[in-house]
Amino acid sequence: MPQKTYTFGEFLVDPQGRRLEFQGAAIPLTAKAFDLLLLLVENSGQPVSKETLIAALWPDTVVEENNLSQHVFQLRKALSKQEGGAQYVQTLPKIGFQFVEPVRVVEIFEHTLPAPKFGRWWVLALAVLAVLGAGGGGWLWYQDWRLWNEPVEAGLPPSVAVLPFRNLTGDPGKDYWMAAFAGEIAGAIGRLEGVTAQSVSQRELPVDDLVSAGKLRADYVFSGSLKGQGPFEIELHFLNARRKQLVWSRRFQTTHDELAKTIFDISSEVSGALQETAGAKRRTLLGRKPPRNAEAYLSFLAGMQALESRSSADLTKALDAFQQSITSDSTFAGAYAGLAFTIMVQAIHGDDHPMVAWPRAIKMAEKALSLEPDLPEALMVKTQWLAHMELDEAAGEQLARKLAADNPASQNVQLFLGYYLSSLGKFQEAEPLLRRAVQSDPTSLIARQQLAYLHYRKQDLPAAKLECLRIIRLNPKSVIGYGILMPVLWMNGEYRMAELLVDRARKGGLNQPVLQMAAGYTYAKVGRIAEARQIRDNLLEASKSTYVQPLQLSILSRSLGDHELARELREKCIRDHCVQPSILRTDPMMQ
């Protein structure tokens, strides 16, 4: 059975603990006054007669109405801690009383794993799981259970999960705001010392905040909701997940034009709450500055939402959104950093020629840093620029470590450090950072992709295979998931299995260059030489008009025995700076 906690304004009513709180501090009430409050709150918005209240409060005693009036007076006095609080309890002449403030019910459920939702792309995903012996997904659920129930590493600071806001506006077009709001708050927490924070994608998490906290094993949870069409009402809740207790609630009124400023103000208040409650310490670093207008902020949110998937189509959408944000506010550092980060991802993934993309990326990053010198996303781009273009991986590592030290509570920044250390081949140091990121948000595709790639490069093939299956289960259209899984199968000698999977993926509409290369390599290994050569020739022809990463063509040509062409393509890759030098040295397929 769920346990209920009631909140209104900045008050909390805990029936189990028989406790009234205001902004986290206990408000003393007599037993009868608390029972009266609970009766009124449970019937919020409805009249409760004097006779009903007297019968409930004094079931075995005959009392006068004056006794009830005295307890109503005590209750109003307690509620007057907040301006207008005395008006929460309204007298209804000749009837009784009514609690007039809207009340939110927070229900605490026992944790259960949700069932997956099935769509047409899940047919492909389940086929992959079945082919690889995953029992249609049950084995994978068990492996996930093991991951989520591993012992928590000792000595870690308290963890904070920031859940996507609930969209109560009635407009599905605002869905992309919700995760972005959470990301903004997590970014503010990331600048504190003494806690770790992660905004959560919540693809499969239960709606209940405390259940989500249990699955994430977070110590604290922030959740919120957005109501209205403008003006808006934002409601925020701060929960102590270990104690199953609501610490405080806040309600904010804002307009469309003031939305960005309000979210930034909320981020500051959240940071203050963690300092008071969880012992976090504020660092003397600049905070992100809000844009000048709502149009710039909303375009920025759209860009952040599109950037999450890392697909080629969504990266193009992210570019357009960030550029539109800059057009609306040419002083908004966040938009320049987002644009720089998107261009960087395109360069690394082979969606654009690196000799064209990298100079654009560093130019936007430097613009962002000129406006806000400590902006993490811009510094991440600078780190990668040092490694890819200036070939100074040591300087990049130094900057990545400084970035992590300056943002100790940010799981996104710690994830980036883990990724960078992994790219250098420093697997022993990188793996705990990546595993921690996955445990903080088990539905994060980015964290899982980095962990899978680490396992592949250190040639822990069973672990790499497992992570790839988790990625494909989360997103059956994940090109990166298939892109890592294929070499794992090749290295394991499972060419027939790889053949079946690439055939299914291509029939399912996955035809990006990296999967075309995977198909060609697989076909060469199973004797479908003509098809493999046709794929390679098609990619070579396509490279005349669009960028195709030469390293992919080099690996495919090598599988066909065209070693001279493979060598030329590898040298072109090095000239084009398409891959970080240390990856060329440590990736098993590139040796």
Residue pLDDT, tens place only, 354-390:
999 999 999 999 999 999 998 999 999 999 999 999 9
Q: Which helix (H) or strand (E) holds 361?
A: helix 354-371
Which amino acid, 373?
P
CB 553 within 8 A of CB 529: no
Pick the more confident residue, 197 or 528.
528
Considering the chain, what percentage of its residues have pLDDT values greater than 70?
Answer: 83
pLDDT at 261 over 80: yes
pLDDT at 18 over 60: yes
- Which phi and psi (to 5°) does residue 226 adopt? -125, 125
Question: For 459-486, what is each residue's pLDDT tens digit?
Answer: 999 999 888 888 887 777 788 888 889 9
Mean pLDDT of the chain: 81
- The reported pLDDT for the residue numbered 121 is 44
- The span from the CA of 391 to the CA of 406, in Å, is 24
CB 7 within 8 A of CB 239: no
Question: For 514-539, what is each residue's pLDDT tens digit?
Answer: 889 999 999 999 999 999 999 999 99
281: number of CA atoms within 13 Å, CB side?
A: 7
CB 215 within 8 A of CB 193: no
Residue 265 binned pLDDT confidence (cut-offs 50, 70, 90): confident
Domain range list for the chain? 3-107, 152-282, 494-591
- The reported pLDDT for the residue numbered 490 is 92
- The span from the CA of 353 to the CA of 575, in Å, is 12
CATH topology of domain 152-282: Rossmann fold (3.40.50)
Residue 156 binned pLDDT confidence (cut-offs 50, 70, 90): low
Pick the more confident residue, 105 or 579.
579
By the 10 Å C-beta count (0-12 exposed, 13-18 middle, 19+ buried), 59 is classed as: exposed
Cα three-residue angle 171-175-178, rounded to 5 degrees: 125
CATH of domain 3-107: 1.10.10.10
